[in-house]
Amino acid sequence: MRQVLVSALIVVGGAALVVAQPSRPLTLSAVATAMGADALRTIEYSGSGYTFGYQQAPGPGEPWPLFIADTYKVSVDYRAPAMRLESTRAQGEAPPRGGGGQPIAGNPRSVQLVSGGAAWSLGASGNAQPNPGAVGDRRRQLWMTPHGLIKAAQASSASITGRTFPLTLEGLPMTVTVGADDRIERVDYLIDNPVLGDVPVQLAYRDYRSVNGTSFPTRIIEKTDGFLTLELTIAHIAPNPALSIVVPAGLPTSPTARSSAAPRVDAAAVAPGVWHLIASGYGSMLVEFRDFLLMFEAPIDDARSAAVNEWVRQTVPGKPLRYVVNTHAHFDHAGGLRAYAADGVTLITHEMNRSYFEQVWQRPHTVKPDRLSQQPRLPVWDTMTERKTVTDGARTLTLYKLVGNGHNPYILIGYLPAERILLYGDMYNPPAGNDPRDPARTNEFADSLYDNVANRFKLDVQLMVPVHGRAVPFDNLKKAIGVLPVAP
């Protein structure tokens, strides 16, 4: 009896020892095996879902506006490496609210490609349009596919700790998490935004399905700063298809380094003492008063603001830049605003925009520190609600908040009554050519702009000077929305 009891204790103890043994550490090889990555040379997947207009929220702090992606097709050749992304985008919200190119007419198609050191897009006619500045971003997107992450990690000899491993793609550090099923679950990283500072991004891969030995997610979800930027359902998965992504003849085949040179400033005088300044593809307007200067809008980032302000110092010396006007909180219009705050320039905007900026400007800027984060100072504000006038007794600029415009609830326009000039951002971006109509958009926002200017505020406008595009006669807006006929 004693011998049986001892034997039983040994068996139980042995079982306990077996249970207590630590599990085998997870390896990249095990993840590659679970996902079928080792034998995967190319992949093609497609589906549909939603994309969202990052940086273009309907109102300060709201979620990014939604668009419908009826087509989302990705082709990847990991050997080249090369990738082709074809997508369509349609209006997702009615009535339209926010930016991101809406309101959209039809279902425009986009085709973006990268191969080795070349990046390009296909226009409507199928012609290749070089995009040298997009090489790094598109190559990163290629390697951030589920199997690309494993291949990149193996190539860099990354090691897994627990269920995560670090990875740097095109200079961007990230953390990759492996799920309990040994498949890639998500990727987390930080990007810089000139308005928000450090912005967390999370790309999640869910609901894997096996196709011919390759395991691929059927749901892809991306969030940027906590709000959705991509939500896809993948319907078709094709491992190892024959792919040929060939760089078009004559296209640059080496990545163009980001230039450290200051952006070029192209200036056009639209009236005495009023200039339209184009830099980095965006416009702002300088207005000269008797004893000071005012800048209308501060697009994009610090670098653009610095270049434009240097042009101002050289062109109009001896007068202080006292004010900068921010029309609304969309990031392409507010990205350069912190540079003015760092210089102590008084910021004019709607009171609700100020509340938003004061909140988000408290966030860290460690990914790409700007001048205000390196030399902190309290911004100087001079806010408004419905109307505000800036004058020196000779020249007057009146600012109005638009009413009922879906682009943004706190968007401002500026009017120079003596010159009959409207200063504005968004809602109607004059297209190139002789036809003032924009076939890519419907007219809800432009109709609202016209109604505010002509009917509510009864402004006598002759010339429109936009942030996006060239200065045009006010009649262009009338023709674009059908108030005036367009000559054949």
The DSSP result for 303-358, as a single string, is: HHHHHHHHHHHHHSTTS-EEEEE-----HHHHTTHHHHHHTTPEEE-BHHHHHHHH
Q: Which residues pair with 324 in a beta bridge?
A: 295, 347
Q: What is the DSSP string of 78-136?
A: TTTTEEEEEEE-EE-SSS--S-SSPSBPS--EEEEEEETTEEEEE-TTS-EEE-GGGHH
Residue located via tokens 């700790």: 161
| Close Cβ partners of 323 (under 8 Å, ≥ 6 residues apart) | 292, 293, 294, 295, 345, 346, 347, 348, 382, 390
What percent of the chain has pLDDT above 70?
94
Domain ranges of the chain: 28-239, 266-480
Distances (CA, A) of 424 to 237, 390, 437, 450: 46, 16, 18, 12
0.85 exceeded by pTM: yes
pLDDT tens track for 100-155: 999 999 999 999 999 999 999 998 788 999 999 899 999 999 999 999 999 999 99
Residue 287 makes CB contacts below 8 A (sequence gap 6+) with 273, 274, 293, 294, 295, 296, 395, 397, 416
Considering only the C-alpha atoms of the chain, give the largest distance between any 2 of them, rounded to a whole number of Å: 113
Q: Are 177 and 161 in contact (CB under 8 A)?
A: no
Yes or no: say if 88 and 107 are a contact pair by the CB < 8 Å rule: yes
Class of residue 4 by CB neighbours under 10 A (exposed 0-12, middle 13-18, buried 19+): exposed
Judged against a pLDDT cut of 50, whether residue 208 lies above it is answered with yes
Res 5 pLDDT > 70: no
Residue 22 gets the label, from left (phi > 0), alpha (psi -120 to 50) or beta, of beta
**What is the secondary structure of 407-471 as a DSSP string?**
T-TT-EEEEETTTTEEEE-SS--PPSSS----TTB-SHHHHHHHIIIIIIS----SEEEESSS--
* Full DSSP string of 80-91: TTEEEEEEE-EE
Q: Which amino acid is at 399?
A: L
Quick: pLDDT tens for 165-203.
999 999 999 999 999 999 999 999 999 999 999 999 999
- Of the pLDDT bands very low, low, confident and very high (cuts 50, 70, 90), residue 253 is confident
CA 187 centroid distance within chain: 19
Q: For 406-424, what is each residue's pLDDT tens digit?
A: 999 999 999 999 999 999 9
Cα 47–Cα 220–Cα 124 angle in degrees, nearest 5? 45
How does strand 293-296 pair with strand 463-466?
A: unpaired
> The domain 266-480: what is its CATH number?
3.60.15.10
Write down the CATH superfamily of domain 28-239. Answer: Lipoprotein localisation LolA/LolB/LppX (2.50.20.10)
Task: Output the six-digit token pair for 178.
Answer: 């492996």
Q: pLDDT digit string (tens) for 84-110? A: 999 999 999 999 999 999 999 999 999
Check if the beta carbon of residue 341 is closer than 8 Å to that of residue 381. no
DSSP code of residue 379? P
